[in-house]
Amino acid sequence: MAWFYHPGSYAELLAVPAHSLVKVPDGISDETAADHVLVHSGGGFEEQVRELTGGTGTFHSSQAALRSHGVHAYYGPFMGVPTLRPTDLPNSILLTYPVVHHHVPTRETLLQRTGEVFDLILSGRLTPRVTGRYPLAEAARAHADIESRRTTGKLLLLP
C-alpha cells in the first residue's frame, strides 16, 4: 500500500486512514512507488537558477529563470518571503502556491492520479530514478544532502 501525504510519515509503523491508501499494482516495486517528484527542466532550468542566484535559488531569481508564460510554484518561505505587486511578475509568468490537498481533494481524485502514474510506470513511459537510500535514523542527513544540492532523483528513507 502507498499514500501521498500523511503527517508523521518518517516512522517504521504508521496509522494512515484507509481512504488515503492506494494499492500499488503488481509489477511496481515499493521503491518505485515511493516519494516521486517530477520536474521538467526545459533544457537547463536548474543551471539557470543556480547561475542567477550564486548557487542558492530565491523567489525572484527563480522567476527570472522562467520563460514567458512559465509557471512559478512557490513552496514556502525557504524560497524567500516575497513582497511583490502583480506588475512585478516578469514575462507574463503564472505564480502559484501549490497545496497537495487542493490537487488531490477526494479519494476518487487520489485513485485517478495514482492510477495515471502507475500506468505510466507499467507501460515503461516513466522510470523513476532512485539515487539514494538512507536508513530512517539518518533522515536528517538525507535532508541535509537535499539542501546542499548533492542529490538528484528520488531519495528513499528505509526502516
pLDDT at 52: 57
Bridge partners, 22 (sequence order): 2
Q: Which pLDDT tens digit goes with each residue over 80-137?
A: 677 788 888 888 988 888 888 888 899 999 999 999 999 999 999 999 888 999 999 9
Q: What is the pLDDT of residue 37?
A: 38
Structural domains in the chain, sorted by start:
2-38+104-158 (3.90.180.10), 45-96 (no CATH)
| Winning range, highest mean pLDDT, from 55-59, 146-150, 153-157 | 153-157
Q: Is pLDDT above 70 for 155?
A: yes
Please, which pLDDT band fits residue 70 given cuts at 50, 70 and 90? confident
Q: What is the pLDDT of residue 41?
A: 45
What does each C-alpha distance from 33 to 2, 87, 115, 129, 148 come to in angstroms? Answer: 7, 41, 11, 11, 25
User: Is it the case that residue 147 has pLDDT exceeding 60?
Assistant: yes
3-state SS track over the chain: CEECCCCCCCCCCCCCCHHHEECCCCCCCHHHHCCCCCCCCCCCHHHHHHHHHCCCCCHHHHHHCCCCCCEEECCCHHHCCCCCCHHHCHHHCEEECCCHHHHCCCHHHHHHHHHHHHHHHHCCCCCCCEEEEEEHHHHHHHHHHHHCCCCCCEEEEEC
